[in-house]
Amino acid sequence: SKTDELSLLAASSGNLSSSTSPQPTAGKRSSKDFIFGRVIGEGSFSTVYLAKDIHTSKELAIKVCDKRHVIREKKAEYIKREKEVLNMLSVNFKATAPFFVKLYCTFQDPDRLYFTLTYAKNGELLPYITRVGCFDIDCTRFYSAEILQALEHMHSLGIIHRDLKPENILLNEEMHILITDFGSSKILNATHRGQDVENEERAVRRRNSFVGTAQYVSPELLTDKSASPASDLWALGCIIYQMVAGVTPFHAGSEYMIFQKILKLDYICPDGFSPSAKDLVDKLLVLESSNRLGACDKEGYPSIKSHPFYQGMDFETLHQQTPPVIS
Ligand code: ATP
Protein backbone atom coordinates (compact mmCIF):
# COMPACT_ATOMS: atom_id res chain seq x y z
CA SER A 1 0.00 0.00 0.00
CA LYS A 2 0.96 3.64 -0.36
CA THR A 3 1.18 4.08 3.42
CA ASP A 4 3.57 1.13 3.70
CA GLU A 5 5.78 2.49 0.98
CA LEU A 6 5.83 5.93 2.53
CA SER A 7 6.88 4.52 5.89
CA LEU A 8 9.57 2.52 4.12
CA LEU A 9 10.85 5.73 2.59
CA ALA A 10 10.71 7.54 5.90
CA ALA A 11 12.63 4.72 7.56
CA SER A 12 15.21 4.79 4.81
CA SER A 13 15.75 8.47 5.21
CA GLY A 14 16.90 8.94 8.81
CA ASN A 15 20.24 10.56 9.57
CA LEU A 16 23.32 8.40 9.59
CA SER A 17 24.83 7.74 12.96
CA SER A 18 27.33 10.37 13.99
CA SER A 19 30.18 7.82 13.80
CA THR A 20 29.85 7.77 10.01
CA SER A 21 29.33 11.49 9.62
CA PRO A 22 32.41 13.57 8.89
CA GLN A 23 30.88 16.62 10.56
CA PRO A 24 31.09 17.10 14.30
CA THR A 25 27.60 18.62 14.18
CA ALA A 26 25.71 15.36 14.37
CA GLY A 27 22.21 16.82 14.79
CA LYS A 28 19.42 16.53 12.27
CA ARG A 29 20.22 18.28 9.05
CA SER A 30 17.88 19.84 6.55
CA SER A 31 18.07 21.51 3.17
CA LYS A 32 18.70 24.80 5.03
CA ASP A 33 22.21 23.55 5.86
CA PHE A 34 23.15 23.60 2.17
CA ILE A 35 23.30 26.09 -0.66
CA PHE A 36 21.94 24.42 -3.76
CA GLY A 37 23.72 25.14 -7.02
CA ARG A 38 23.35 23.84 -10.56
CA VAL A 39 21.79 20.54 -11.55
CA ILE A 40 24.57 18.00 -12.18
CA GLY A 41 22.36 15.33 -13.65
CA GLU A 42 18.97 13.68 -13.66
CA GLY A 43 17.97 10.08 -13.12
CA SER A 44 14.60 8.49 -13.76
CA PHE A 45 13.28 9.52 -10.34
CA SER A 46 15.94 11.84 -8.97
CA THR A 47 17.78 15.07 -9.61
CA VAL A 48 21.37 15.56 -8.48
CA TYR A 49 22.47 19.08 -7.47
CA LEU A 50 25.88 20.53 -6.79
CA ALA A 51 25.65 21.98 -3.27
CA LYS A 52 27.73 23.57 -0.59
CA ASP A 53 27.58 22.78 3.12
CA ILE A 54 27.10 26.22 4.72
CA HIS A 55 29.00 25.12 7.86
CA THR A 56 32.11 23.67 6.21
CA SER A 57 31.97 25.19 2.69
CA LYS A 58 32.51 21.64 1.43
CA GLU A 59 31.16 20.92 -2.05
CA LEU A 60 28.75 18.00 -2.19
CA ALA A 61 26.37 16.33 -4.57
CA ILE A 62 22.82 16.15 -3.25
CA LYS A 63 20.50 13.61 -4.77
CA VAL A 64 16.89 14.67 -4.40
CA CYS A 65 14.08 12.19 -4.93
CA ASP A 66 10.45 13.16 -5.22
CA LYS A 67 8.55 10.78 -2.89
CA ARG A 68 5.43 10.57 -5.01
CA HIS A 69 7.49 9.88 -8.10
CA VAL A 70 9.43 7.16 -6.26
CA ILE A 71 6.22 5.46 -5.25
CA ARG A 72 4.69 5.81 -8.70
CA GLU A 73 7.81 4.21 -10.21
CA LYS A 74 7.89 1.53 -7.46
CA LYS A 75 11.46 2.46 -6.53
CA ALA A 76 11.15 2.58 -2.73
CA GLU A 77 13.06 -0.71 -2.36
CA TYR A 78 15.72 0.56 -4.74
CA ILE A 79 16.31 3.68 -2.65
CA LYS A 80 16.31 1.75 0.59
CA ARG A 81 18.94 -0.64 -0.79
CA GLU A 82 21.07 2.20 -2.08
CA LYS A 83 21.12 3.84 1.33
CA GLU A 84 21.80 0.58 3.14
CA VAL A 85 24.80 -0.26 0.95
CA LEU A 86 26.26 3.27 1.02
CA ASN A 87 25.98 3.10 4.82
CA MET A 88 27.81 -0.24 4.94
CA LEU A 89 30.59 1.12 2.75
CA SER A 90 30.89 4.29 4.84
CA VAL A 91 31.01 2.41 8.14
CA ASN A 92 33.49 -0.11 6.73
CA PHE A 93 35.62 2.49 4.98
CA LYS A 94 38.89 0.97 3.74
CA ALA A 95 41.82 3.30 3.23
CA THR A 96 43.32 1.18 0.45
CA ALA A 97 39.99 0.99 -1.38
CA PRO A 98 38.41 4.44 -1.00
CA PHE A 99 36.73 4.01 -4.36
CA PHE A 100 33.11 4.66 -3.47
CA VAL A 101 30.84 7.66 -3.36
CA LYS A 102 30.33 8.38 0.33
CA LEU A 103 26.95 9.07 1.88
CA TYR A 104 27.31 11.85 4.46
CA CYS A 105 23.73 12.18 5.64
CA THR A 106 20.14 11.83 4.56
CA PHE A 107 17.11 13.89 5.46
CA GLN A 108 13.66 14.57 4.12
CA ASP A 109 10.82 17.06 3.89
CA PRO A 110 7.17 16.19 3.24
CA ASP A 111 7.71 15.83 -0.52
CA ARG A 112 11.33 14.83 -1.01
CA LEU A 113 14.21 12.64 0.15
CA TYR A 114 17.75 14.03 0.20
CA PHE A 115 21.06 12.13 0.00
CA THR A 116 24.24 14.15 0.50
CA LEU A 117 27.08 12.47 -1.36
CA THR A 118 30.72 12.98 -2.33
CA TYR A 119 30.80 15.24 -5.35
CA ALA A 120 32.53 13.44 -8.22
CA LYS A 121 33.94 16.48 -9.95
CA ASN A 122 34.98 14.76 -13.15
CA GLY A 123 31.71 12.95 -13.78
CA GLU A 124 31.31 9.53 -15.36
CA LEU A 125 34.05 7.29 -16.76
CA LEU A 126 32.05 6.49 -19.90
CA PRO A 127 32.55 9.79 -21.77
CA TYR A 128 36.31 9.51 -21.20
CA ILE A 129 36.34 6.17 -23.02
CA THR A 130 34.08 7.51 -25.75
CA ARG A 131 36.09 10.70 -26.20
CA VAL A 132 39.44 9.00 -26.78
CA GLY A 133 37.94 6.01 -28.62
CA CYS A 134 39.72 3.54 -26.39
CA PHE A 135 42.18 3.56 -23.49
CA ASP A 136 45.87 2.80 -23.88
CA ILE A 137 47.25 -0.12 -21.90
CA ASP A 138 48.44 2.02 -18.96
CA CYS A 139 44.99 3.59 -18.48
CA THR A 140 43.24 0.25 -18.90
CA ARG A 141 45.53 -1.38 -16.34
CA PHE A 142 45.18 1.46 -13.85
CA TYR A 143 41.43 1.99 -14.03
CA SER A 144 40.54 -1.71 -14.18
CA ALA A 145 42.87 -2.25 -11.18
CA GLU A 146 41.00 0.41 -9.19
CA ILE A 147 37.70 -1.24 -10.10
CA LEU A 148 39.08 -4.63 -9.03
CA GLN A 149 40.32 -3.21 -5.74
CA ALA A 150 36.85 -1.73 -5.15
CA LEU A 151 35.14 -5.05 -6.02
CA GLU A 152 37.43 -6.89 -3.64
CA HIS A 153 36.31 -4.62 -0.80
CA MET A 154 32.61 -4.70 -1.69
CA HIS A 155 32.60 -8.45 -2.06
CA SER A 156 34.41 -8.91 1.26
CA LEU A 157 31.42 -7.13 2.82
CA GLY A 158 29.01 -9.38 0.94
CA ILE A 159 27.84 -6.67 -1.44
CA ILE A 160 27.27 -7.51 -5.11
CA HIS A 161 26.83 -4.39 -7.27
CA ARG A 162 24.91 -6.10 -10.13
CA ASP A 163 24.94 -3.00 -12.34
CA LEU A 164 28.62 -2.24 -12.74
CA LYS A 165 29.27 -0.19 -15.90
CA PRO A 166 31.25 2.92 -16.90
CA GLU A 167 28.20 5.16 -16.29
CA ASN A 168 28.21 4.09 -12.64
CA ILE A 169 31.91 4.68 -12.18
CA LEU A 170 32.45 8.37 -11.38
CA LEU A 171 35.74 10.24 -11.15
CA ASN A 172 36.87 12.59 -8.41
CA GLU A 173 38.96 15.71 -8.82
CA GLU A 174 42.20 13.67 -8.87
CA MET A 175 40.72 11.27 -11.44
CA HIS A 176 40.39 8.33 -9.08
CA ILE A 177 37.22 6.25 -9.36
CA LEU A 178 34.14 6.54 -7.14
CA ILE A 179 31.66 3.74 -7.71
CA THR A 180 28.01 4.71 -7.34
CA ASP A 181 24.43 3.57 -8.02
CA PHE A 182 23.89 0.75 -5.55
CA GLY A 183 20.11 0.59 -6.05
CA SER A 184 20.35 -2.75 -7.88
CA SER A 185 22.86 -4.25 -5.51
CA LYS A 186 22.42 -7.30 -3.33
CA ILE A 187 23.65 -7.86 0.21
CA LEU A 188 24.52 -11.48 0.87
CA ASN A 189 24.11 -12.78 4.35
CA ALA A 190 27.22 -14.28 5.95
CA THR A 191 26.36 -17.92 5.35
CA HIS A 192 25.72 -17.32 1.64
CA ARG A 193 28.78 -15.25 0.95
CA GLY A 194 30.65 -16.43 -2.13
CA GLN A 195 27.98 -18.84 -3.25
CA ASP A 196 25.22 -18.65 -5.81
CA VAL A 197 22.40 -17.39 -3.69
CA GLU A 198 19.16 -15.65 -2.88
CA ASN A 199 16.33 -18.01 -3.56
CA GLU A 200 13.98 -15.75 -1.68
CA GLU A 201 14.64 -12.91 -4.08
CA ARG A 202 14.73 -14.97 -7.22
CA ALA A 203 10.99 -15.52 -7.44
CA VAL A 204 10.34 -11.82 -7.03
CA ARG A 205 12.77 -10.91 -9.74
CA ARG A 206 11.55 -13.58 -12.12
CA ARG A 207 8.30 -11.63 -12.30
CA ASN A 208 10.18 -8.43 -13.03
CA SER A 209 12.75 -7.70 -15.68
CA PHE A 210 16.42 -8.55 -15.21
CA VAL A 211 18.63 -6.49 -12.94
CA GLY A 212 21.39 -4.50 -14.57
CA THR A 213 22.16 -3.15 -18.00
CA ALA A 214 21.95 -5.32 -21.12
CA GLN A 215 25.56 -4.98 -22.31
CA TYR A 216 27.12 -5.90 -18.96
CA VAL A 217 24.61 -8.42 -17.65
CA SER A 218 26.02 -11.83 -16.83
CA PRO A 219 24.64 -15.03 -18.37
CA GLU A 220 23.50 -16.38 -14.98
CA LEU A 221 21.28 -13.34 -14.50
CA LEU A 222 19.65 -14.07 -17.86
CA THR A 223 19.09 -17.75 -17.24
CA ASP A 224 18.31 -18.53 -13.61
CA LYS A 225 18.38 -14.92 -12.45
CA SER A 226 20.77 -15.65 -9.62
CA ALA A 227 23.71 -13.36 -8.99
CA SER A 228 26.97 -14.04 -7.19
CA PRO A 229 30.06 -11.86 -6.72
CA ALA A 230 31.30 -13.46 -9.96
CA SER A 231 28.53 -11.57 -11.80
CA ASP A 232 30.49 -8.38 -11.08
CA LEU A 233 33.65 -10.10 -12.37
CA TRP A 234 31.81 -10.71 -15.65
CA ALA A 235 30.99 -6.98 -15.79
CA LEU A 236 34.65 -6.22 -15.07
CA GLY A 237 35.59 -8.40 -18.07
CA CYS A 238 33.13 -6.41 -20.23
CA ILE A 239 34.60 -3.10 -19.00
CA ILE A 240 38.22 -4.15 -19.61
CA TYR A 241 37.22 -5.23 -23.12
CA GLN A 242 35.46 -1.88 -23.64
CA MET A 243 38.48 0.11 -22.47
CA VAL A 244 40.75 -1.76 -24.90
CA ALA A 245 38.40 -2.01 -27.89
CA GLY A 246 36.30 1.14 -27.41
CA VAL A 247 33.05 -0.83 -27.66
CA THR A 248 31.37 -3.38 -25.39
CA PRO A 249 32.02 -7.06 -26.18
CA PHE A 250 28.35 -7.88 -26.72
CA HIS A 251 26.69 -5.18 -28.76
CA ALA A 252 23.76 -5.55 -31.11
CA GLY A 253 20.70 -3.71 -32.36
CA SER A 254 18.35 -4.83 -29.61
CA GLU A 255 18.47 -6.05 -26.02
CA TYR A 256 17.18 -9.41 -27.20
CA MET A 257 20.07 -9.78 -29.63
CA ILE A 258 22.58 -8.69 -26.99
CA PHE A 259 21.23 -11.40 -24.66
CA GLN A 260 21.58 -14.01 -27.42
CA LYS A 261 25.20 -13.04 -27.94
CA ILE A 262 25.92 -13.19 -24.20
CA LEU A 263 24.36 -16.64 -23.85
CA LYS A 264 26.42 -17.91 -26.80
CA LEU A 265 29.55 -16.13 -25.56
CA ASP A 266 29.63 -14.57 -29.02
CA TYR A 267 32.39 -11.94 -28.88
CA ILE A 268 35.73 -11.49 -30.59
CA CYS A 269 38.72 -9.39 -29.69
CA PRO A 270 39.62 -7.22 -32.69
CA ASP A 271 43.09 -7.14 -34.30
CA GLY A 272 45.56 -5.22 -32.20
CA PHE A 273 43.89 -6.15 -28.89
CA SER A 274 46.68 -6.56 -26.34
CA PRO A 275 47.33 -10.32 -25.94
CA SER A 276 47.60 -10.19 -22.14
CA ALA A 277 44.39 -8.12 -21.92
CA LYS A 278 42.71 -10.67 -24.21
CA ASP A 279 43.85 -13.52 -22.00
CA LEU A 280 42.42 -11.77 -18.93
CA VAL A 281 39.12 -10.90 -20.65
CA ASP A 282 38.80 -14.50 -21.90
CA LYS A 283 39.25 -15.74 -18.33
CA LEU A 284 36.60 -13.37 -16.94
CA LEU A 285 34.03 -13.76 -19.71
CA VAL A 286 33.30 -17.40 -18.92
CA LEU A 287 29.70 -18.66 -19.03
CA GLU A 288 29.96 -20.81 -15.90
CA SER A 289 30.31 -18.24 -13.13
CA SER A 290 32.36 -20.51 -10.84
CA ASN A 291 34.97 -20.95 -13.60
CA ARG A 292 35.71 -17.22 -13.89
CA LEU A 293 39.16 -16.11 -12.82
CA GLY A 294 38.93 -15.13 -9.15
CA ALA A 295 35.58 -16.86 -8.52
CA CYS A 296 37.22 -19.52 -6.34
CA ASP A 297 39.59 -17.20 -4.49
CA LYS A 298 38.94 -17.48 -0.76
CA GLU A 299 39.89 -13.95 0.19
CA GLY A 300 40.29 -11.04 -2.22
CA TYR A 301 41.20 -11.66 -5.83
CA PRO A 302 44.86 -12.79 -5.80
CA SER A 303 44.40 -14.89 -8.94
CA ILE A 304 43.25 -11.84 -10.95
CA LYS A 305 45.87 -9.53 -9.43
CA SER A 306 48.64 -11.96 -10.32
CA HIS A 307 47.54 -12.20 -13.96
CA PRO A 308 50.38 -11.07 -16.30
CA PHE A 309 48.22 -8.11 -17.42
CA TYR A 310 48.78 -6.54 -14.00
CA GLN A 311 52.48 -7.33 -13.76
CA GLY A 312 54.19 -4.76 -11.52
CA MET A 313 50.90 -3.18 -10.36
CA ASP A 314 50.80 -2.19 -6.68
CA PHE A 315 47.11 -2.54 -5.86
CA GLU A 316 47.40 -1.39 -2.25
CA THR A 317 48.69 2.08 -3.14
CA LEU A 318 46.52 2.79 -6.20
CA HIS A 319 44.66 5.59 -4.39
CA GLN A 320 47.98 7.37 -3.73
CA GLN A 321 49.28 6.99 -7.27
CA THR A 322 48.82 9.67 -9.90
CA PRO A 323 46.44 8.22 -12.49
CA PRO A 324 47.85 8.01 -16.02
CA VAL A 325 46.54 10.81 -18.23
CA ILE A 326 43.69 9.65 -20.43
CA SER A 327 44.60 10.48 -24.01
P1 ATP B 1 18.67 6.09 -12.83
O2 ATP B 1 18.29 6.39 -11.43
O3 ATP B 1 17.62 6.37 -13.80
O4 ATP B 1 19.34 4.76 -12.99
P5 ATP B 1 21.07 7.58 -12.44
O6 ATP B 1 21.53 6.52 -11.53
O7 ATP B 1 22.03 8.11 -13.43
O8 ATP B 1 19.79 7.16 -13.23
P9 ATP B 1 21.16 9.61 -10.43
O10 ATP B 1 21.86 8.78 -9.44
O11 ATP B 1 20.07 10.50 -9.97
O12 ATP B 1 20.49 8.77 -11.56
O13 ATP B 1 22.24 10.48 -11.16
C14 ATP B 1 21.88 11.42 -12.14
C15 ATP B 1 23.14 11.97 -12.79
O16 ATP B 1 23.91 12.69 -11.83
C17 ATP B 1 24.06 10.93 -13.39
O18 ATP B 1 24.35 11.33 -14.70
C19 ATP B 1 25.31 10.94 -12.57
O20 ATP B 1 26.44 10.87 -13.39
C21 ATP B 1 25.26 12.27 -11.85
N22 ATP B 1 25.70 12.04 -10.48
C23 ATP B 1 25.11 11.24 -9.58
N24 ATP B 1 25.75 11.24 -8.41
C25 ATP B 1 26.81 12.08 -8.56
C26 ATP B 1 27.89 12.50 -7.69
N27 ATP B 1 28.00 12.04 -6.45
N28 ATP B 1 28.79 13.37 -8.20
C29 ATP B 1 28.69 13.82 -9.46
N30 ATP B 1 27.71 13.45 -10.32
C31 ATP B 1 26.78 12.59 -9.88
For 130-161, write each residue's pLDDT tens digit: 999 999 999 999 999 999 999 999 999 999 99
CA 64–ligand 1 middle distance (angstroms): 10
Query: Is 163 designated active site?
Result: yes
pLDDT at position 19, please?
36
- What predicted TM-score, i.e. pTM, was given to this entire model? 0.91
Q: Is 168 in the pocket of ligand 1 (CB under 6 A)?
A: no
pLDDT at position 5, please?
55
Atom 17 in ligand 1: residue holding the nearest Cα: 41
Contact 112, 84 (CB under 8 A): no
- Which of 34, 40, 72, 116 is the best mutation target for the ligand 1 pocket, counting ligand atoms within 8 Å of the beta carbon and taking the most? 40
DSSP-based helix, strand, coil % in the chain, nearest 5: 45, 15, 40
9 vs 176: CA distance, rounded Å: 32
**Nearest-atom index, ligand 1, CA of 63:** 11
Q: Predicted confidence band at 192 (pLDDT cuts at 50, 70, 90)?
A: low
pLDDT at 77 over 70: yes
**ipTM of the complex, rounded to two decimals:** 0.98
**Nearest-atom index, ligand 1, CA of 78:** 2
Ranges of H-type helices in the chain? 2-11, 67-72, 76-91, 126-132, 137-156, 199-207, 219-223, 229-245, 255-263, 275-284, 302-305
| The one catalytic residue among 33, 53, 163, 232 | 163
**Nearest-atom index, ligand 1, CA of 75:** 2
Average pLDDT over residues 214-221: 96
pLDDT at 13 over 90: no
Mean pLDDT, all residues of the chain? 89
Atom 18 in ligand 1: residue holding the nearest Cα: 41
Q: Predicted confidence band at 189 (pLDDT cuts at 50, 70, 90)?
A: confident
